[in-house]
Structure 1
Amino acid sequence: MLNEGKARDQLEDILDDPEYQAYQQDPGFFSELWNKALEAIAKAIEAIFPAVEPTARASSIILIGIIACLIIALVVIVIVLVSRKVKRRKLNERKPLQSMNELEWSYKRHMKEAESLAASGNHSQATRHMFLALLLYFHEKEWLKAMVWKTNWDYYDELRKINKEWADRFYKLAIVFDQVAYGEREVDATEYASFRDEALELIKDKAHES
């Protein structure tokens, strides 16, 4: 009985200890952060809608909604970044010029071949030759150096040093070219016309003369 009484006294001493009381009352970092966030939201609601009296439940729902939106935004950003990385890898692996023969053609000859193929209904091959016409046009202007072993990423990187706007437009066309050239996409007459017009705009850009 004496030991039990002594143990009870020791337990009471521990429970009455200021450090233990402070520990029990400490809500923890995340709990405190959550409460502060709820208070901030409640004040914001009160400031925006003075007639509405914010409740803890309403503040909690809004805070959860904000957190959910942030998580969704983060997921979307990650997906976009991964998608861009995949596209860049593809652009960095594939070579637009398949033979020296294609390199020896002038850009005007590739343009003529593109129009001939488009007239016969082969819009995918027409797209390919129109892109090569653009590439060799830049080559003839000495804004990049066309080589059989180079990838479209190499060309984009070279062109970016000359003019970033042209490089960005070239990049978009290169993505379509890769999809068409490697059988990932079929191009119809309307899509080819859009691709051709964009390529011709780059070729005929008056800024090239300055």
Structure 2
Amino acid sequence: MSNVPMWSEDKERLVDILSTEEFTQSSKAGEGWIEKALDYLLELIARVFERVDLPTEAAGTVSTTVVVVAILALLAVIYWTSRKLMLHSKKERALFTQGEKIRRHTDYLLEARQLAQTEEWREAVRHLFLALLVYLQEKSWIRIEQWKTNWEYMEEIRHNHPAMQEVFRRHARIFDQIWYGQKTIDEEVFWKHVNELEQIWREEGHHG
């Protein structure tokens, strides 16, 4: 007995799941690869089960099991591929340019202000985030390394100065959205963050 109609329905169910926004955004460059992988996987399984005569009551259970296994397998591939693309993207848009010498946090803050005045918002956000990172390093709360992620910096802050966790989380979120996510910065939010850092540094006697 052929189970091709059953596999066709399962394929449609799986495509519906994998075509939702959270999956399709994982790789614009590889648009359509999910459907191709799905075609190959389900057709391979269908060919195997076409040779097996299953009782009617067992067919539904087998079908559901195969769909679940297929989903898990494809999610693993999607996760691995999206991680690889994300790392590649971040490498191309590294926080520090090659050979860039780390300066004082006040230097980065001044440049962030100047860049904002000329509406170079992405670079302004980068310099503002650098000002925060360099300040944290000057206080010995983190150690800046090219390979570290913001989550790793967060762990260092949690161990060394927990009071700065929320400040760092807000600034890191905005930085990721603008620098890596290509979103547009809200001018009001930018200046709010500038004022927040200046206030912190004034209170600790480290501004200017």
Q: TM-score, normalised by structure 2?
A: 0.49
User: Larger radius of gyration, structure 1 or 2?
Assistant: 1
Q: TM-score, normalised by structure 1?
A: 0.49
Higher helix share: 1
